[in-house]
Amino acid sequence: MAAAPAARPTLALLASASASLGAGRRAWARLAVSSSLAGPALPRFRGRRAFAAAAGGAVMGKAGPGAVEADAGMDAVQRRLMFEDECILVDEQDNVVGHESKYNCHLMEKIETGHALHRAFSVFLFNSKYELLLQQRSATKVTFPLVWTNTCCSHPLYRESELIEENCVGVRNAAQRKLFDELGIVADELPLDEFIPLGRMLYKAPSDGKWGEHELDYLLFMVRDVKLNPNPEEVADVKYMNQDQLKELLRKADAGEDGVKLSPWFRLVVDNFLMGWWDHVEQGTLQEAADMKTIHKL
């Protein structure tokens, strides 16, 4: 692995636990970067939060009771996240223009009207043998269940710590939070300054007739050996792969063998960037590959 730079910014992390919803719910760690890196204090944002009632799991919020009835079969955890999480709406130049529930951001009817473009991130985590960690999304995922994808894919939320744009700190905070939520990787093993943003891409992809994605996706790379404790509510399987093993997975997906399917965003990264960037991973020159000025429309 390449030697670490001689000096890194000092990152002080503040951890707080969000309240659990319903009996037996997990309390998720929420992590924020200190103002020493974030710069001037930001105003405190209040998202229009939907909430889940513990009794019976009924959900109320912007989507309205009709949506709840229509999605009564949705897994309870995914339903809570869909209605409670507020994604960051952006325009095609990545300027923040508002916020909306995760539920509404992933409805194809909203996507097709052009009112659901939101900020996202995709993490590509490599071990010291330069193998890429892939995950298979759980069967209960609302969008793209059981597909194979990169290490972690999610959204920064409309909250102060994840709206910080300087040095991509907000996206890094979100990635650190979600890697713990999905794969159980603790924050100490994921220093914020070791997430290397390599680029941004804008894409649209349907999942089924109802759901889809329309994201401006930050592509974050890191080389780090970590301990995994996957959350079965989010992840069905995990596997480290070298380049040859990934190429075999791609072949199976293209041939429809063994039911292998890949997420559309992962396939876009593979087809357009990944193999070239993988060389930089092995050579310790990832910073040379970074281009955060361009937004690739794919």
Q: Which residues form the catalytic set?
A: 153, 218
- Cα–Cα dist 104/115, whole Å: 9
The two three-digit tokens of residue 296, written as one number:
């690739």
- Indicate the DSSP class of residue 26: P
- The single-letter code of the amino acid at 160 is E
- Cα–Cα dist 249/154, whole Å: 22
What is the C-alpha end-to-end distance of the chain, expressed in Å? 31
Burial of 234 (0-12, 13-18, 19+ CB in 10 A): buried
- Cα–Cα dist 272/243, whole Å: 15
Q: Following DSSP, what letter does each residue of 117-171 receive, concatenated?
A: -EEEEEEEEE-TT-PEEEEEEPTT-SSSTT-EESSEEE--BSSGGG---GGGHHH
Give CA separation, 155 vs 51, 169, 196, 293, in Å: 19, 13, 17, 20
